[in-house]
Structure 1
Amino acid sequence: MDNYLFDEFEKVSPQAWKNKIQVDLKGADYNETLLWDNNEGIRVKPFYTKEDRASFDIKLPSSNFNICQKIQVDNEVSANQKAKDALQRGADAIEFICVKSIDPVILLKEIDVKHTHFYFRLNTPNEELVNHIRESVKQATIFFNIDPIGTLVKTGNWHRNYKADTALLNKLSTIQNSLLVDASTYQNAGANCSQQLAYALAHTHEYIAQLGPNCVPNLHFRFAVGSNYFFEIAKLRAFRVLLAELMSFLALPNTKAAHIFAEPSTRNKTLYDYNVNMLRSTSESMSAVLGGANTVANIPYDDLFHEANEFGDRISRNQLLILKEECEMETPHTIANGVYYIEALTQQLVQKALEIFKQIEKGGGLLKQLKEGTIQRKINESAQREQADFDRGELVLLGTNKIQNDNDRMKGELQKSPFLKERKEKTLLQPILPKRLAEKLEQKRLENE
């Protein structure tokens, strides 16, 4: 088309919009009234125009997002039944959480492996088990969640030791989709978006430096998604930009879109008025979908205090089905393209994350900064700022620090502890642990029931 409807209207500059807003404010200061800074140090404006757009060529997935069901494998037969039921009810991906060695033939019996994505979270990964799984289901799309650096980050220790874990990685790094970079730990511990992106990039760089460029095609990534809706959309998009920057800097090919597995954050989930968790996880899942996640695994609304149950799993899966089918988000990955606000946020997150990443590399890399406690200190500072906002009531969790239901009783509902357990074993470095905002408040409420 040569003629566009809006060509008939006079173009309005950003300054003209600002002047109009200033008039409507009737003397109130524009900067103090309508501009705000968040914990990222990013200033958010009341409006955005095409001048705020960023010219990013983001490699996004070419297919629909996958709905993933998480299943803990205590017994292969029962896990197989749960997987078949989940797939029949709308899931198209399964994450098996394997607490022991497994028999993949029994686990995947009578499952349509050609049209299902599988994620194996192995408690004790070894070359024999990985190869056995691969050989048993050659036609399946399989991702192994093997991440020794991630284990070190979360627990303070390697799986076995540095030498043994590095040797295992060298053997496994050429196997398709064998190597995970788990950035969810950083978010759940209280890192802001810029930090999460920088640490994920540094985490990736450590593997490439140790294993060489051949590991790059087999990397995949895991992110937790928080409640800051537009920032979280921009976060996932920004990571793809940053990864492309890293590949370009290292003169490595970047021919395909990175595979991103996303799940809602645990940081803002609550014990009291727990049904609100459904609203939180729906918003977070939508951010993941619009941000371009390949696979989304939801968290059941009662996951904090109930053991896994059919009802909770079904509700969490149906939340994603509603997004995909009733909200018509079957192919959502390009929806955010050209959105001025999201593109501006993406650009700012990229810039801030690159600054942090360069500081990490200048300081010797992620492992060195972890051993020195620098990363832990930075995350703790961010978490404390957010906690202070929550404690003052500026960061609101409905039903918890605002609009509490005083008749809500939870003591008799706890099938498992919703609180962080104190660990006493000796560690090589200070682990980065998940911290929920509502924990202290909930502990007091439980004591007073």
Structure 2
Amino acid sequence: MEKIKNQTFPSKTITEWKTIAETSLKGKTIEALDSITYENIILKPLYSLHDEQPVSVYPGGSDFRRGIYPLGYITNEWKIAQHLTYQTAEELEENFLHAFEKGQSAISFEVSKNLFETNKSFSNVIAKLFSQYPFAINAKDFQSGFLDLLKKIADREGSADKISGYIGSDPIAQFVEEEFISEEFFNEWVKNIQQSNEKFSNLQTILIDTVPYHNGGANAVQELGIAMAVGVYYLEKIQGTGMELEEILEKMIFQFAIGGNFFMEIAKLRAARVLWRRITDAYGVKGDACGMHIAAETSSFTKTVNDPYVNLLRAGNEAFAAVIGGVQYLHVNSFDNLTGSTLFSERIARNTQLLLKEEAHLKKVIDPAGGSWYVEELTNQLAEKAWRYFQQIEANSGILEVLKSNWLQRDIAAVYEKKNKDIQTRNHSIVGTNVYANLNEMVPEKKRLKKKPYFVGVDTSLIKIEAIPQRRLAEPFEELRIKANQLAKKTAGHLPLVGMICLGELKQHKARLDFMKGFLAAGGIKTQESMPILTVENARQFVSEQPFKYFCFCGTNDQYEMVGHEILTILIAEYPERIFYFAGLPEKEKQTQWKDEGIKQFIHIKSNCYEILAEILNDLEVSSVEETKA
């Protein structure tokens, strides 16, 4: 044991590591391991002491990248702010009592109109809770009514100073979702902020909500640049009401959605504080007012309807990143949120945060990411790119003008298209959706939210803009699965089928057969594989016995050349209505021959999975309609 303790290892240089790494790469350079993010940041395979960046000595100092409190969560734990579901005010009260008993630490729910219709019941619920717990609510267009209600309760009980947390609203985020900019609504919102400031000294009311941009497909640089632009816009507008600059800053809270790129999301939150400190410095503000307060929620953009239990892993990863990044409030979406959460799934979501606090001990560690070569380098690159993006918005006359001109919408849409292309070609995997799809699962119908537009018919100062669609990455493939299930209903419950012409013995065709099974399953299409096909007669018999239209050849390159051409030629001649695919990508000079012989398309690892599956399903849908008419 003593010998083991005293054992040392010789230090190695970066050059030596590169030499060994390039040997294992079989001739490729180490740069081949670089990857580029949607933020156009190049990620290296290794970060070392040479990448060390100067950082704050402690959290709560310098640029606030390490957090806004010197002792982090040891003295100021983040609040578990799960958005509770309910139907009535009475049910909301019951759910709150249960949730607080089980670890909830903030009053959080989606405000709805029916709560105000039962004003007395709702008042009773709020009156029982606000002196013990802070609020964590994005009230949207109900903010004014909510604050009026709180004023009545506070006047009745003389407890305005006990109301804390945030009941925020971001008019610009609402404009983005509802396709209109309303000057009248915005002016009323500014007045409401000013009035509530006089009444509620400990309540934050100015929300900068980047979630709609995130759900539209924005990258981290865009989210940060937009957050800064909106924050500056609100500073300028509200400052004219007579509120002091420090007062306005203390009323602000930023809301971010946390996506699936773990380290990028950590760096995003750290960079946000760096940027906001840079802005407050420009305004000449010093002290605690420069610190950015952050509310976060796990992303809905990354979640799926299919195989929903994988959402547990996604949400856990995102919640972990949020906490490491240093948030003050956190909501974790339940794994079945898209189809309607249950008490079980809501408990699991809440317990995710409790695990991070109690089992991962994150409430006991001050800035665990601090000093990481990779995280600090990523933070700096994000901050600089986002700063330039913010300046670009300002150079185009500010956040409202870039929305009116549709510049921002187009820029976010361009990033979404890149993400969507990676999903369609399966360069980016969504487990249970575009890879490892489970065709036997019973998928409940996605809940459809019908929100009545707030501004239409209410406001006369409307300016029409292009909305930023609220999307999810998995939706295109989910729509394919829906279409496949609809086709199955027309065929006695049988999902669409593609026949697999398996050339040679099992070991010769298995690799490509397995690839095709996974490829087709992403669109809800099953496979029917043949016995090992060694002769033309074997293939003819298999195809003649199957009622379906599509077939795919699976085998080795040698098998394709030995028997594939002959089999394809005969099958095309005898069954001209059948369509044949080819698993794999032949050498370029051989592709023309296969195409001339009748192969419709080569399916391989770089194929656009979505486009191929959509084409098959659309054709089958048309065929089923024609059969029905006949």
After TM superposition, the score normalised by the length of structure 1 is 0.90
1:147 and 2:170 matched: yes
Q: CA deviation at 1:27?
A: 2.4
Q: Deviations over 1:250-304 (max 9, x none)?
A: 2123425322111111111111111111110010000001111111111011110
Structure 2 counterpart of 1:95, which letter?
S
Contact 2:80/2:350 (8 A) holds in 1: yes
Contact 1:74/1:98 (8 A) holds in 2: no
2:222 & 2:450 partners in 1: Cα distance? Answer: 25
2:451 & 2:478 partners in 1: Cα distance? Answer: 12
1:366 and 2:399 matched: yes
Match of 1:282 among 308, 313, 316: 316
User: Which residue in the other structure is 2:131 paired with?
Assistant: 113
Q: CA deviation at 1:133?
A: 5.6
Q: CA deviation at 1:342?
A: 0.6
Q: For the structure 1 residues 166 and 108, does the alpha-carbon distance in structure 2 shift closer, same or farther, using more than 3 Å as the test?
A: closer
User: Which residue in the other structure is 1:83 paired with?
Assistant: 96
2:307 & 2:296 partners in 1: Cα distance? Answer: 25
Q: Deviations over 1:196-243 (max 9, x none)?
A: 111011110110111122311110111000000111111101101011
2:165 & 2:413 partners in 1: Cα distance? Answer: 35
Q: Which moved more, 1:82-91 or 1:97-106?
A: 97-106
1:277 & 1:419 partners in 2: Cα distance? Answer: 24
2:369 & 2:190 partners in 1: Cα distance? Answer: 39
User: Which residue in the other structure is 1:293 paired with?
Assistant: 327
1:312 & 1:263 partners in 2: Cα distance? Answer: 16
Q: CA deviation at 1:434?
A: 1.4
1:343 and 2:376 matched: yes
Q: Deviations over 1:141-162 (max 9, x none)?
A: 2311222122112222357534
1:163 and 2:190 matched: no
Q: For the structure 1 residues 264 and 207, does the alpha-carbon distance in structure 2 shift closer, same or farther, using more than 3 Å as the test?
A: same
Contact 1:64/1:332 (8 A) holds in 2: no
Structure 2 counterpart of 1:188, which letter?
N
Q: CA deviation at 1:77?
A: 2.3
Q: For the structure 1 residues 443 and 422, does the alpha-carbon distance in structure 2 shift closer, same or farther, using more than 3 Å as the test?
A: farther
1:258 & 1:265 partners in 2: Cα distance? Answer: 20
2:129 & 2:142 partners in 1: Cα distance? Answer: 25
1:405 & 1:254 partners in 2: Cα distance? Answer: 54
Is there any run of 5+ residues in structure 1 with no aligned partner, and where?
none
Q: CA deviation at 1:347?
A: 0.6
Match of 2:415 among 382, 401, 420: 382
Other structure's SS at 2:81 match = strand
Q: Deviations over 1:135-193 (max 9, x none)?
A: 56532423112221221122223575343334334434565311111111111110001
User: Which residue in the other structure is 1:391 paired with?
Assistant: 424
Other structure's SS at 1:263 match = strand
User: Which residue in the other structure is 1:27 paired with?
Assistant: 27
Q: CA deviation at 1:50?
A: 2.4
Q: For the structure 1 residues 77 and 424, does the alpha-carbon distance in structure 2 shift closer, same or farther, using more than 3 Å as the test?
A: closer
User: Which residue in the other structure is 1:44 paired with?
Assistant: 43
User: Which residue in the other structure is 2:618 paired with?
Assistant: none
1:415 & 1:43 partners in 2: Cα distance? Answer: 37
Contact 1:84/1:111 (8 A) holds in 2: no
1:424 & 1:108 partners in 2: Cα distance? Answer: 28
1:417 and 2:448 matched: yes
Structure 2 counterpart of 1:416, which letter?
K
Other structure's SS at 1:96 match = coil
Other structure's SS at 2:363 match = coil
2:454 & 2:94 partners in 1: Cα distance? Answer: 34
2:277 & 2:83 partners in 1: Cα distance? Answer: 30
User: Which residue in the other structure is 2:218 paired with?
Assistant: 191
- State the Cα RMSD in Å: 2.8
Structure 2 counterpart of 1:107, which letter?
V
User: Which residue in the other structure is 1:53 paired with?
Assistant: 52
Contact 2:305/2:446 (8 A) holds in 1: no
1:242 and 2:275 matched: yes
Is there any run of 5+ residues in structure 2 with no aligned partner, and where?
57-62, 240-244, 457-461, 486-630
2:359 & 2:180 partners in 1: Cα distance? Answer: 45
Contact 1:147/1:181 (8 A) holds in 2: yes
1:26 & 1:443 partners in 2: Cα distance? Answer: 42
2:412 & 2:26 partners in 1: Cα distance? Answer: 41
Contact 1:202/1:365 (8 A) holds in 2: yes
Structure 1 counterpart of 2:46, which letter?
F
User: Which residue in the other structure is 1:180 paired with?
Assistant: 207
Q: CA deviation at 1:113?
A: 3.1
1:71 and 2:102 matched: no
Q: For the structure 1 residues 423 and 152, does the alpha-carbon distance in structure 2 shift closer, same or farther, using more than 3 Å as the test?
A: closer
2:127 & 2:287 partners in 1: Cα distance? Answer: 36
2:378 & 2:87 partners in 1: Cα distance? Answer: 43
Other structure's SS at 1:432 match = coil
1:107 & 1:20 partners in 2: Cα distance? Answer: 65
User: Which residue in the other structure is 2:242 paired with?
Assistant: none
Q: CA deviation at 1:13?
A: 4.9
Q: CA deviation at 1:310?
A: 1.3
Q: For the structure 1 residues 140 and 407, does the alpha-carbon distance in structure 2 shift closer, same or farther, using more than 3 Å as the test?
A: same
Structure 2 counterpart of 1:45, which letter?
K
Q: For the structure 1 residues 163 and 377, does the alpha-carbon distance in structure 2 shift closer, same or farther, using more than 3 Å as the test?
A: same
User: Which residue in the other structure is 1:268 paired with?
Assistant: 302
Q: Which moved more, 1:245-254 or 1:339-348?
A: 245-254
| Higher CA-based Rg | 2
Q: CA deviation at 1:121?
A: 3.2
Contact 2:208/2:230 (8 A) holds in 1: yes
1:221 & 1:322 partners in 2: Cα distance? Answer: 25
Match of 1:304 among 315, 338, 343: 338
2:236 & 2:12 partners in 1: Cα distance? Answer: 50
Other structure's SS at 1:181 match = strand
Q: How many residues align?
A: 439
Q: Which moved more, 1:190-199 or 1:243-252?
A: 243-252
Structure 1 counterpart of 2:305, which letter?
L
Other structure's SS at 1:94 match = coil
Q: CA deviation at 1:19?
A: 4.2
Match of 2:260 among 205, 227, 239: 227
Match of 2:230 among 188, 191, 203: 203
1:444 and 2:480 matched: yes
1:205 & 1:358 partners in 2: Cα distance? Answer: 11
2:388 & 2:472 partners in 1: Cα distance? Answer: 28
